[in-house]
Chains A and B, each alone.
Chain A
């Protein structure tokens, strides 16, 4: 077993709030990423998934403080703060931001925006960079001739492809995609997801797909991690998560998602997520859980191994402790 490509250990992120308070946005996230795999990071709004990947990229604002380690090829990127992350950013690990398709510079051509990171990171310049940009545009399905056009001339789907090409400019091994298809029609979504899968296969790219859309992850990813209240509550192979979940939130999240052909009733999860600016007693999901028992109110569950590659943070998995 080769060591994981990326290993996040016990990541915490706090945001400063007025009056000396803090928002504990990420509460001890641990994750391993194998080379070439497609991993989904799933959760609803406010669960901390975007904050977590921004922390990995070192792109958090000055109001944030971070603890934990992010190991890339044995190097802890977080240890030296900005200085230890910068050499890796875009070159080894890149990100497609949420709404990136709307954040393209409107007064510069698409090709020039792909060339820019190449030149900034010393990957290529001049004619070589232009050529490489053209190749990338072909790779993402836009075509190199379109590089001379401006973002407003592109449709939403094409702009998203351009954003992906920009992220790939410096040849990273890992791509973090934050809600890459959320604002797109289902047919375009299929095209983009198809592209991402092809990129992982053809370029050996490792993909982390961050989204709230469970079915998208089910279609595209091999493995997934489910986030709730700033931590991972369950992670494992996609198949296991759907057919044998070991955390009530995972089960209820699937049950809340209507299926095209399924006839089972679709159920809401009552209540709302806990506030992250207050310390949480016991299991963060306990107030909404349909199988909580007394231990859940006092002790916070740890992410424990259920099986090879399958982990869950739930007291119900501790057979000895569950009351009959």
Chain B
């Protein structure tokens, strides 16, 4: 099914996405003529998800990963850039066309306790997408589709779970119900925003394996948003690390985790606690905290905290460059990677090549 994925149109392709929020000055600020500031939530993000592939978008809070996911679904306005699903541009689509595309893209939310309406039985919530899009045929057809979705989400026997209310289910079961509700329309792309961070450890693996199985068995493409590098390392095919609105490193999961090239990735990996007490690595703890996305540093956005920053890092804003000449899809945005680093401009053009 996905043998020669190289030339195939990717399931999801985001190019140079920019999302900014204006910061409200308020009346006093306007009177005092304070300059208008913006939150630079996403400043030029490009990523690609192929059929049957899981890309993990990893980063700390404020890095813009959730905003990227929201932009993909049109929940926040995109300032510039393109978001294409199977080659169709989403940012300029009519609402009617969007509704059709939306059936193929589903979002799984972080909070299993909130993503189900407490007043609806599970079967009602799962059948809702069918009702909204007015598909699904007769009542029996719908019931059967609901049962199928429940079975795919491993809630067996489906009839038992269909009749329950959310408060009668555990956190893991609720998340599976939410996943079933996403599956009923037969999506091709699943975006999971921290799908297990609110669940107990003993339950997480099941949910993540479920998502992984959907990917392998049904060729669903998955974009997983997470702050947990261990989860990403374990389940994802590719990892993209975000910092302050940009992707600073991306590549096959194994490569990024075992051979990180960007100083931020290296530091992040070193401070992730390992479960084996014998493997206590010397953590490279960065000084200070991630700056506010309102005040993004000039030049390389990481340079104030970078342990190996050089003078030129204050003025050069590096673009993602392949780390090895042979590609392999591993790239990092650092002057120390891959030769003379080209500079990014705000329009996404890469200037100063060579």
* A contacts B directly (C-beta below 8 A): yes
Q: Which residues of A contact B (CB under 8 A)?
A: 44-45, 155, 157, 185-191, 193-194, 212-216, 218-220, 238-239, 242-243, 252-254, 256-262, 266-270, 272
With the chains together, A187 CA to B270 CA distance in Å? 9
With the chains together, A261 CA to B234 CA distance in Å? 8
26 residue pairs from A and B, CB less than 8 Å apart = A44-B201, A185-B60, A185-B227, A186-B229, A187-B286, A187-B289, A187-B290, A213-B201, A215-B230, A215-B275, A216-B273, A219-B274, A239-B277, A242-B276, A252-B202, A256-B201, A257-B230, A258-B205, A259-B275, A259-B276, A260-B257, A262-B234, A267-B205, A268-B206, A269-B203, A270-B206
Q: Is the CB of A256 within 8 A of B204?
A: yes
Interface string of B248-277 (1 = CB under 8 A from A): 000000000110000000011101111111
Q: Nearest chain-B residue to A47 (Cβ)?
A: B200
With the chains together, A190 CA to B288 CA distance in Å? 12
With the chains together, A262 CA to B269 CA distance in Å? 14
Q: How far is the CB of B345 from chain A (nearest CB, A)?
A: 29
Q: Nearest chain-B residue to A183 (Cβ)?
A: B61
Q: Is the CB of B267 within 8 A of A266?
A: no
Q: Which residues of B contact A186 (CB under 8 A)?
A: 60, 227, 229, 268, 271-272
Interface size range of chain B in the complex: 35 or more
Interface string of B212-252 (1 = CB under 8 A from A): 00000000000000011111011100000000000000000
With the chains together, A62 CA to B206 CA distance in Å? 39
Given contacts A187-B267, A239-B277, contact A256 B272 (CB under 8 A): no
What's the count of A-B pairs with C-beta under 8 Å? 119
Q: Is the CB of B273 within 8 A of A215?
A: yes
| B170 is an interface residue with CB less than 8 A from chain A | yes
Max chain A C-beta neighbours (<10 A), residue from B61, B204, B206, B289: B289
Q: How far is the CB of A269 from chain B (nearest CB, A)?
A: 4
Q: Nearest chain-B residue to A272 (Cβ)?
A: B170
Q: Nearest chain-A residue to B277 (Cβ)?
A: A238
Q: Nearest chain-B residue to A189 (Cβ)?
A: B271
Q: Is the CB of A260 within 8 A of B209?
A: no
The one of A190, A191, A214, A243 in contact with B201, judged by C-beta atoms closer than 8 angstroms, is: A214
| B306 is an interface residue with CB less than 8 A from chain A | no
The 7 closest A-B pairs by CB, nearest first: A268-B206, A215-B273, A190-B271, A269-B202, A185-B60, A258-B234, A238-B277
Q: Which residues of B contact A190 (CB under 8 A)?
A: 271, 283, 285
